Amino acid sequence: MKRLLPMPSKHLFARLFLICVFLVAPVLPFGPREVSHEAMVVAASREPVRAAHGMVASTSKIASTVGVSVLKRGGNAVDAAVAVALALAVTYPAAGNLGGGGFMMIRLRDGRATAIDYREMAPAASHRNVYLDRDGNLVKGEGSSTIGYRASGVPGTVAGLELALKKYGSGKFNWAQLVEPARRLAAEGFQLPYNLTRSLRAQRENMERYPESKKVYLNNGKFFNEGDVWRQPELAATFARLQRFGPREFYEGQTARLIAEDMKRNNGLLTLEDLKNYVAKERVPLRSTYRGYEVVSMPPPSSGGAVLIEMLNILEGFDLLHMGVASSERYHLMTEAMRRAFADRAEYMGDADFVKVPVAGMIDKAYAERQRRGIKMERASTSAEVRAGRPTGYESEETTHFTIVDAAGNAVANTYTLNDSYGSKVVMRGTGVLMNDEMDDFAAKPGTPNAYGLIQGERNAVAPRKRPLSAMTPTFVMRKDGTLWFAVGSPGGPTIINTVLQVITNIVDFDMNIQQAIDAPRIHHQWLPDEIVYEPYGMSADTSRALTARGHQLTEKPRYMGDAQGIMIEEKTGVRLGASDPRNFGEPVGY
């Protein structure tokens, strides 16, 4: 698994997960009436951050602080989201971006919800076989869908932020004001933390081949050290142009021309016309319930919402609580739900503007009942026998998510990405803009695994102006009175959906608070390859033996998954509870 940034000390996670497995697991099977709140608190590495008014949870404390500053000055959650997203392009370059895309879920205090789709689009010059050689095999290295100038889709981040601000901003901040914190961070610099310097050094092999990338991220081969002040003058100049001329400058102005010229010099697919023609879209969120609590999540071209809801619907038919949070029974059932939903993902999901996607059928509870009938408690299914079902009706692990709740109760859950860590590894000359390698999220060769081992079908084949399938899953969950309970999302490629799934079930089924739910160990299964991925120190030997006895295959090497960022509203007080994943270096900031 590639990581956004180097992980914290393994000893920290050893302590955290041993506490979760050996202190929580023994008490839960006795039933809900016998589990005290105190027992659950023991399992958390820390309490959530508390704030009376507004909260921002992101993977960068600097960016979170930028967002809270906007909230303090009267901005709403959408205003703050624009400022945070732009700041992350400076402080968290592995995934924060101007040259990528993503999805923003917005829920207003009156209960209305919407989805902003600013996913990248395939350039007009792309086609179904653009990444195949003469023999029909996938191209490797330069010219492939994973690295270099031909790997990039048309970036959507700037257009998506513009659309969100125009329709749902407070009106108290204009575009230029929200760009300013990011411009200042790029121009004046910020002190590099140890983890970011390690992350930049780890990119040496890939970035040395591109002069602009070597200059910006590798300090011309001299490398940056912890404590250095990192300035990005060309990126600052790009932000200054965006301030002066507005968001369309990125698609029609000097920045667009610089990107298009550099692409042409290096045999890239993307043109000035592609940039001019990019459109962000507003879409209707998917809605369902889990044990009576409303779940609102992202529709296609993200597969996240539909696959998440299908799994929740399947699990709703089982009493997870009495099985125990870390029991082999729970892990068995979650794996079987994941296996079935990811099989459907591979068969049916794609850009709904281009292909017919049976979302209504996939999230139907009657369909989940049919899926449940094939699950046997005593033994595992195999992915060879579990094919896509027949519902009726019709990303990268290097992603980042942030969640915001303002004083009025408006909320944003935003996940965006460059796909791989540092995207295509190419900085566009004269702009400071790092581009995505999002074309790998298409099925470059349908039926062949992508960089994350995901099998994808014809519905996600490359086509001009099409948006690639994604696993990003920004999600809201409401209390039974209709008020916002919590919002959450995560990076992690295909593990995103299962991370969000487990956070939700940890809260709803096991009464965890938002920090405990994010801290708890995770598993992952994506249909193919047919194996359970689990985390270091996250599964006892007894549990792994019980799963193996049922016929499950466990991965040889455990790994950490996700970087969830969530906010929960405390029921009696309305206090915002912010939580950042201990698997990375985020820190919630509130006021």
Q: Which of 453, 473, 456, 441 is nearest to 312 (CA)?
A: 473
- Residue in 52, 93, 219, 103 with CA at minimum distance from that of residue 576: 52
Query: What's the whole-number mean pLDDT along residues 143-158?
Result: 96
* CATH number of domain containing 479: 1.10.246.130
Helix spans in 121-232 (H): 157-168, 175-188, 194-201, 204-207, 211-217
336 lies in some domain? yes
Out of 59, 146, 255, 399, the active site residue is 399
Same domain, 277 and 313: no
**Domain identity same for 277 and 294:** no
pTM given for the model:
0.91
516-557 pLDDT, tens digit each = 999 999 999 999 999 999 999 999 999 999 999 999 999 999
Residue 565 and residue 317: Cα distance in Å, rounded? Answer: 28
CA trace torsion 569, 495, 192, 413 (10° rounding): -30
- Number of domains making up the chain: 2
One domain, residues 407 and 262: yes
Distance CA 444, CA 120 (A): 15
CA distance 67 to 79: 8
Q: What is the pLDDT of residues 88-108, one digit of tens each?
A: 999 999 999 999 999 999 999
Q: What integer pLDDT is reported at residue 255 of this predicted model?
A: 98
103 and 19 inside one domain: no
Asked if residue 244 and residue 147 are part of one domain, the reply reads yes
Query: Quick check: is 241 in a domain?
Result: yes
Same domain, 60 and 164: yes
Would you say residue 358 lies in a domain?
yes
Asked if residue 464 is part of any domain, the answer here is no
430 exposed, middle or buried (CB, 10 Å; 0-12, 13-18, 19+)? middle
Cis check for the bond before 468: say yes or no (omega within 30 of 0). no
- In this structure, what token pair is assigned to residue 423? 């995207």
pLDDT tens digits along 384-399: 888 665 554 434 567 9
Residue 399 annotated among the catalytic residues of the structure: yes
377-390 b/e (C-beta count within 10 Å ≥ 16 → b): eeebbebeebebbe
With beta carbons less than 8 A apart as the criterion, state whether 477 and 294 touch. Answer: yes
253 and 331 co-located in one domain: no
Residue with tokens 């940890």, as numbered in its chain = 506
Task: Give, in order, the Cα–Cα distances in Å from 402 to each of 58, 323, 489, 508, 566.
Answer: 4, 32, 7, 21, 8
- Average of pLDDT values for 343-352? 88
Residues 392, 404, single domain; the answer is: no
Q: DSSP letter at 306? A: H
Q: Indicate whether 235 and 344 sit together in one domain.
A: no
The residue type found at 358 is P
Q: Verify that 126 and 196 share a domain, yes or no.
A: yes
**In a shared domain, residues 34 and 70:** no
Structural domain contains residue 262: yes
Question: CB atoms < 10 A from the CB of 352, how many?
Answer: 17
Domain that holds residue 433: 55-282+400-438
pLDDT for 575: 98
Among the three residues 415, 438, 461, which one is the final residue of a domain in this structure? 438
